[in-house]
Chain A
Amino acid sequence: GAGVSQSPRYKVAKRGQDVALRCDPISGHVSLFWYQQALGQGPEFLTYFQNEAQLDKSGLPSDRFFAERPEGSVSTLKIQRTQQEDSAVYLCASSRRGRGGDQPQHFGDGTRLSIL
C-alpha cells in the first residue's frame, strides 16, 4: 500500500493480558517510530528503528513494553501484562533515511487500545 498500515485498528483486552500491535511502514522507509497518544494530548515518543536496529527505546514507559522489527520492515509493539493506564492510541510512523529527525514522518491510522 501507499501509506503506513497498522493493525488491528481497535483492540480491547482485559487487564493482565498481553497484546501485540502491528505496523507495516511505507515501502523504502528505513526509519520507523512508535508513539503513544492519550486523549487530548499530542503523540509521545516510544521507540525508534533504523532498519532492523532499535536505536532508541528511551520512551518505552516500562519493561512491559517491547518492540521489534526483525527484517527491517514490519514492526510489532508488544505490551505484556497490560494495565489500564496503557489505554491509548498507538501510532506508528515511518520516514526516509535522514539525519536528526529532519525527515517528515508519515503516520498510520493507529491502534486504539482499551484495557478493561
Chain B
Amino acid sequence: QKEVEQNSGPLSVPEGAIASLNCTYSDRGSQSFFWYRQYSGKSPELIMSIYSNGDKEDGRFTAQLNKASQYVSLLIRDSQPSDSATYLCAVSNPNTGNQFYFGTGTSLTVIP
C-alpha cells in the first residue's frame, strides 16, 4: 500500500469551475501536509501548506485537512487554463525523518 494516494486523473473541468483534488495518506503520525503544482518538465512549485484540521485559504486555493479520516484536499476556485498541471500531495511525519512522501499526482486540465 502506497503511503500517499491520489487519483491520477486526468481531471478535466471547464474554465471558471471549481477543481477538487483529493489525497489520502496511510501514516497516522503525519503532521505536515503540502500541495505542489508541477508543470510538464518543470519542478514542483509549492502552493499550500497545512498543519491543522480544517480549511486554509490562499486566494483561489483552499486546502482542507481531516486527520481523523487521513484525508487532505485542495480546491481551486474559478479555475483558469493556466492551472492545468499535475498537482502533487506531500506528507511528512516527524517520527520518520524530514523527508516528504509524495503521491503520484493528479493531472488537471482546465478547458477554456
Chain A facing B: main interface SS: loop
Interface string of B12-39 (1 = CB under 8 A from A): 0000000000000000000110101000
Measured between beta carbons, the chain A residues less than 8 angstroms from B94 are 99-102
Is there contact, CB below 8 Å, between B104 and A108?
no
Q: Cβ of B45: which chain A residues have Cβ within 8 Å of it?
A: 107
Contact status A101-B97, CB under 8 Å: yes
Q: Taking the nearest CB of chain B, how far is it from the CB of A6, in angstroms? A: 9
Interface size class of B (residues with CB under 8 A): 20 to 34
CA A31 to CA B94, docked complex, whole Å: 14
Residues of B bordering A, CB below 8 Å: 4, 8, 31-32, 34, 36, 42-46, 49, 51, 88, 90, 92-95, 97-105
Apart from A55-B97, A100-B97, what are 18 other A-B pairs with CB-CB below 8 Å? A41-B105, A42-B103, A42-B105, A43-B88, A43-B100, A48-B98, A56-B99, A59-B99, A91-B43, A91-B44, A99-B94, A100-B31, A100-B92, A102-B32, A102-B51, A102-B94, A104-B46, A105-B100
